[in-house]
Amino acid sequence: MKILGIDEAGKGPVIGPLIIAGVMIQDGKEAMLGEVKDSKLLTHKKRIELDKLIQNNSEFKIIEVPPQEIDEALLSDHLNLNWLEAHKQAEIINKLNPDTAIIDCPSPNCEKYEEYLRDLLINKKTKLIVEHKADLNYPVCAAASIIAKVKREEEMDKIKAKYGDTGPGYPANETTKKFLKENWEKYPEIFRKTWSTFKKIANNKNQKSLGEF
């Protein structure tokens, strides 16, 4: 029986992509994934080690969702961030076709989320386990959390190499705040413009510009 775990990294940042990853193994082979646990509980060095081990011992798929796609979803009438995530999770499930898919649920309502996700699946026989904190309870979800986090860090390193020190991209981080304030107009492609942090700075600057006339 094939078991798939799905998790994400980078849902909250104002800079850079959202990464959604799925890791699939045969049931009972969890030990091959190494000492996996929620990626937030590991050092980055340990995550990189485990990332290699996981990718060598599983079937996996990683989806990168750029800021523009996130903004388009949030500005549309039929999507929000959770539903966008469900579409990407369905893409992973449809590609890897597991017997069971375990989802770290992003929505407060797991039941409603499961219904929405099931509608997007090609194989309706796939068993779904949709839980909060699934990355703490299921090794395949912890493994997905790790490869998603490593991929997100790689993408952020590319952004920093090209645009300068963005910090981790989280709105509360001081380095990120400073970078956003100084570069929000220069590099629109790396920012999530629907985030309140971004809108606040853009609105303040626009008001100042109007006041100068």
Residue 81 is part of a domain; what is its CATH number? Answer: 3.30.420.10
Amino acid found at 75:
L
Distance CA 97, CA 136 (A): 23
SS3 4: strand
Instruction: State residue 41's pLDDT score.
Output: 80
Distance CA 180, CA 187 (A): 9
**In-domain check, residue 212:** no
Contact 59, 35 (CB under 8 A): no
The segments of the chain whose pLDDT lies below 70 read: 205-213
- Domain total in the chain: 2
Both tokens of 64, joined, read 């990168």
Instruction: State residue 207's pLDDT score.
Output: 61
Residues 126 and 174 both lie in one domain:
no
Residues 102 and 176 both lie in one domain:
no
Distance CA 7, CA 102 (A): 9
Amino acid found at 140:
V
Instruction: State residue 179's pLDDT score.
Output: 97
Instruction: State residue 213's pLDDT score.
Output: 43
pTM comes to 0.93
Instruction: State residue 42's pLDDT score.
Output: 87
Both tokens of 110, joined, read 């797991």
Residues 121 and 45 both lie in one domain:
yes
